[in-house]
């Protein structure tokens, strides 16, 4: 299988959280895959230029877009440990995805976009700035200067610390889909900078270390731009 994976100017730095989710899912299944780096603006390199987004997974049978659809495809078609086994686990993973959208990405995004812009390929700079500024309704510099981003993230992470203080993983003894969804957001940050941007509770930091160790340290070995 081939996973089209978003890269910065340094082609070895892979930042997309949605691509990270798929990489964790492939690793969880023990599936053999290779990644194909693509940059932001050059849509001709995307297997589905109309869609213009990654992740895209190419299998022997089909080309699948969108991380949630890819995860569902892998769960159905690839043998190995399931991502979730009960409806309760599936409901919890829906909760974490919604929590990320409401409580993590709105603060992490403005913190990271300017740093990402500094590290995208020269040919991607204008596209990245324009598309993100349109979405934010402000410049990347204004977004980065939004007051309270770190405070908001720290408050959100107190919530994540509650389950992680009592359980090794969000999936309990073993990681499940929720662990991969949440860790993917942190991999986005880690690809951009390895420096701490805010303080995370100890239970969250310890869980991140466990996640970085999975699959022979696949995520730990991933390169950061800074």
Q: Which stretch binds ligand GSH (CB under 6 A): 46-54, 105-113, 135-143, 145-153?
A: 46-54
CA-to-CA distance for 14 and 192, rounded, in angstroms?
9
Single out the residue of 126, 219, 224 nearest to residue 175, CA to CA: 219
Per CB under 6 A, which of residues 195..224 are in contact with ligand GSH?
none
What does the alpha-carbon distance between residue 175 and residue 177 come to, in Å, rounded to a whole number?
7
Establish if 18 lies at the interface with ligand GSH (CB under 6 A).
yes
Answer for which of 6, 25, 120, 182 binds ligand GSH (CB under 6 A) is: 6
State the nearest-atom distance from the C-beta of 17 to ligand GSH, in Å.
6
Judged by CB under 6 A, does residue 117 bind ligand GSH?
no
- Say whether residue 138 binds ligand GSH (CB under 6 A): no
Q: Which residue intervals of the chain are DSSP H helices?
A: 17-29, 67-77, 87-99, 105-119, 125-136, 140-144, 149-166, 177-192, 202-217
Nearest to 158 by CA among 212, 214, 104: 104
Under the binding rule (CB under 6 A), the answer on residue 53 touching ligand GSH is yes
**Residues of span 58-87 touching ligand GSH by CB under 6 A:** 66-68
Binding site for ligand GSH (CB under 6 A): 6, 16-18, 40, 52-55, 66-68, 131
């Amino acid at each position: 299988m081939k996973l089209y994976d978003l890269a910065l100017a340094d082609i070895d730095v892979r930042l997309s959280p949605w691509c990270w989710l798929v990489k964790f899912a492939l690793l969880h299944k023990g599936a053999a895959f290779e990644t194909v780096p693509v940059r932001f603006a050059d849509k001709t390199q995307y297997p589905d230029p109309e869609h213009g987004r990654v992740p895209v997974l190419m299998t022997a049978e089909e080309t699948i877009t969108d991380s949630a659809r890819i995860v569902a495809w892998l769960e159905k078609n690839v043998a190995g440990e399931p991502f979730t086994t009960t409806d309760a686990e599936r409901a919890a993973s829906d909760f974490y995805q919604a929590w990320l959208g409401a409580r993590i990405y709105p603060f992490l995004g403005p913190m990271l976009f300017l740093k990402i812009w500094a590290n995208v390929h020269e040919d991607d700079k204008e596209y990245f700035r324009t598309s993100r500024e349109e979405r934010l309704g402000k410049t990347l510099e204004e977004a980065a200067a939004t007051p309270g981003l770190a405070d908001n993230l720290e408050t959100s992470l107190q919530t994540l610390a509650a389950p992680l203080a009592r359980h090794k993983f969000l999936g309990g003894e073993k990681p499940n889909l929720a662990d991969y969804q949440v860790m993917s957001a942190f991999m986005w940050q880690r690809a951009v900078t390895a420096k701490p941007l805010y303080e995370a509770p100890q239970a969250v930091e310890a869980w991140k270390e466990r996640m970085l160790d999975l699959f022979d340290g696949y995520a730990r070995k991933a390169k950061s731009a800074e």
